Amino acid sequence: PRLANQIAAGEVVERPASVIKELLENSLDAGASRVEVEIEAGGVKLMRVRDNGSGLGKDDLPLALSRHATSKIYELDDLEAVGTLGFRGEALASISSVSRLTLTSNAGDAGDAWQASAEGRDMVAELKPAAHPRGTTVEVRDLFFNTPARRKFLRTEKTEMNRIDDVIKRLAMSRFDVNFVLRHNGKAIHNLPAASNQHEKERRLAQICGPAFMENAVHLDIERSGLRLWGWVALPSFSRSQADMQHFYVNGRAIRDKLVTHAVRQAYQDVLYHGRHPAYVLYLELDPATVDVNVHPTKHEVRFRDNRMVHDFLFRSLHRALAEVRP
């Protein structure tokens, strides 16, 4: 499986932030309500993700590190086709093939915890007893220690850390019900407590997007014929230094989409006569059968069944919300 490991690793593990994304998604999949992320040296030295999710039993630990879907790649016998597959079920195997990884987990039932570790492509996993409350800790050390070429492509510690931070923020804006904690080199970066009501959500967004965003933002929540748009749009009084503050979620998944960008900007210009890219955090909820957000696991694309209808709904909802507060 050596070849497959390397190919898949190239897909998933591009940089520390891609590791964090996979680990956090696993924690959320496991139903965690609290996720703690600890980073050293921009992630190259250490990334540790600890959750209070369902955990893994002793027998499942080595399995989680092994690549069960490898045969798929060999059967295809076509490396070009690989890019379209998405390497689901292979993130941990891919990460461990380019790092020193330990997986410690407690599934809660028997109250005992176990640890499996893997190092480099050979994935020598060994099981030993450990101490850990219900949940899972994944520790990734020395990323790319065995692939110096890829290591060379990494940017500065600060840049890699910013990308990790972006991944966490993006997830934290979609999962208000989860407590996210981030530390870098022993220093607290974020502690975002779970938020349930609007006030708590706004407090979280103020932490993530900055208090100025929240102070200048209009809240909206509009529902019509099975579509719901809610969230916050900043008025032109919000002058931001960051270029990128456009967050759009479709059924909880962060996406980037021309249709969405266009509808928002058009409504904004129409009401406020303002040409600048507006800043927003918006959530569109609609029947999952009418949208495909899985076009590619790493690109954030989306396909609506009825583009026109979605565009109209976004435009009209924003138009209405902005017209109400027009200065």
Which is nearer to ligand ADP, 88 or 305 (by Cβ)? 88
Which is nearer to ligand ADP, 134 or 303 (by Cβ)? 134
Cα–Cα nearest to 185, from 49, 44, 42: 42
Which is nearer to ligand ADP, 82 or 309 (by Cβ)? 82
Beta carbons of 114 and 94 less than 8 angstroms apart: no
| Interface with Mg ion (CB under 5 A) | 26, 91
- In angstroms, give the least distance from the CB of 301 to ligand ADP: 19
Which of ligand ADP, Mg ion, none does residue 296 bind (CB under 5 to 8 Å by kind)?
none
- In angstroms, give the least distance from the CB of 266 to Mg ion: 37
- In angstroms, give the least distance from the CB of 21 to Mg ion: 9
Which is nearer to ligand ADP, 29 or 306 (by Cβ)? 29
Which of Mg ion, ligand ADP, none does residue 52 bind (CB under 5 to 8 Å by kind)?
none
Task: Name beta bridge partners: 48.
Answer: 38, 139
Which of Mg ion, ligand ADP, none does residue 73 bind (CB under 5 to 8 Å by kind)?
none
Q: Cα separation of 269 and 326, whole Å?
A: 12
Burial (CB count <10 Å: 0-12, 13-18, 19+), residue 134 = middle
Q: Cα separation of 55 and 103, whole Å?
A: 10
Cα–Cα nearest to 134, from 46, 57, 191, 66: 57
Which of ligand ADP, Mg ion, none does residue 160 bind (CB under 5 to 8 Å by kind)?
none
- In angstroms, give the least distance from the CB of 103 to ligand ADP: 7
| Interface with ligand ADP (CB under 6 A) | 22, 26-27, 29-30, 51, 53-56, 64, 88-93, 136
Which is nearer to ligand ADP, 28 or 255 (by Cβ)? 28
- Specify the amino acid at residue 64: A
- In angstroms, give the least distance from the CB of 197 to ligand ADP: 28
Cα–Cα nearest to 34, from 22, 43, 24, 21: 24
Beta carbons of 282 and 222 less than 8 angstroms apart: no
Task: Name beta bridge partners: 232.
Answer: 219, 281
- In angstroms, give the least distance from the CB of 326 to ligand ADP: 46
Which of ligand ADP, Mg ion, none does residue 27 bind (CB under 5 to 8 Å by kind)?
ligand ADP
How large is the angle between the packed helices 16-29 and 157-172, nearest 10 degrees?
20
